[in-house]
Amino acid sequence: MLVSLTGCATMTYDRIRLGASQSECRQLLDQDIFHSCNIGFSGSRQDAAGRTDAVVVLLGRDGVVGGKLQATVAPPRMPLVAPSALAPAPTFQLRGELDLVALSLAGAGPLDVLRAVLVELMDRPTNLSAEPARELVAAGIVRLMERWPNLTAAAQFADLADTLERVPSGGVARLGITAQNTFFLEYDG
C-alpha cells in the first residue's frame, strides 16, 4: 500500500477543484505533462524509480471541472535475492472525486457512475499522448469494480489487459458521498 502520494501529479490533483472553469484548471496544469483531450485533460509521469503518477480531469457541462482522478503505481521493493516468480506485486492507489450533477450523472447508482466514467476514459482520445494516464485510471476503476460481489469487470475491457497487469486485484475499495455531495472513490491495491 502506498503510504502517501508525492510529486507533481499529487500537488496538481490536490489543487484542482470541482466546479473550476476549464481555463482555471488549465493554469494549474504543467503543459509538459498534461494534454487536452476529448474528455478534459490528462497526463502522467514516471520517475527514475519506476513510479508512475497519472491524473485525469473530466470536464462536465459548461466546461467546468466535473471530476478528477489520480492513479499511482509503484514497483515493489524487491530483495536482491528474490526470484521473479516470488516478487511482490506493485503497489497501486486510485482516488477520485466526481460532481455527479456537472457530469450529468445525478441519480445514477455507484456502479452506473463507474461504468459511465469508464466509457468516457475508454473512448479513444483525440490526443494520443493523453492515453497512458487514461488507461491507468481506467484500470484502477476496473479493479475497484471487481471488489463488488459477483462482478468480473476485467473481461469486458480487453483493451486494458496490459495495463491491468500493473494494477493488483483484490485491494480495498471505498465509495461514498462527501458532506459537499461529491462522489468519491478510492482503491488501494
pTM greater than the 0.75 cutoff = yes
With helix as H, strand as E and coil as C, how does the chain read? CCCCCCCHHHHHHHHCCCCCEHHHHHHHCCCCCEEEECCEEEEEEECCCCCEEEEEEEECHHHEEEEEEEEEEECCCCCCCCCHHHCCCCEEEEEEEECCCCCCCCCCCHHHHHHHHHHHHHCCCCCHHHHHHHHHHHHHHHHHHHCCCCCCCHHHCHHHHHHHCCCCCCCEEEEEECCCCCEEEEEEC
72-117 pLDDT, tens digit each: 998 876 555 555 555 566 689 999 999 999 999 999 999 999 999 9
CA distances 38 to 58, 62, 80, 174, Å, are: 9, 14, 44, 28
31-73 pLDDT, tens digit each: 888 888 889 999 999 888 888 999 999 999 889 999 999 999 9
Q: Which residue type is seen at 46?
A: Q
Whether the pLDDT of residue 4 is over 70: the answer is no
pLDDT at 12: 83
Q: Which residue type is seen at 183?
A: F
* Rg of the chain (C-alpha set): 16
Burial label, 154 (beta-carbon count in 10 A; 0-12, 13-18, 19+): middle
Whether the pLDDT of residue 136 is over 90: the answer is yes
Distance CA 100, CA 66 (A): 7
How many alpha carbons lie under 13 Å from residue 69 in its C-beta half-sphere?
A: 31
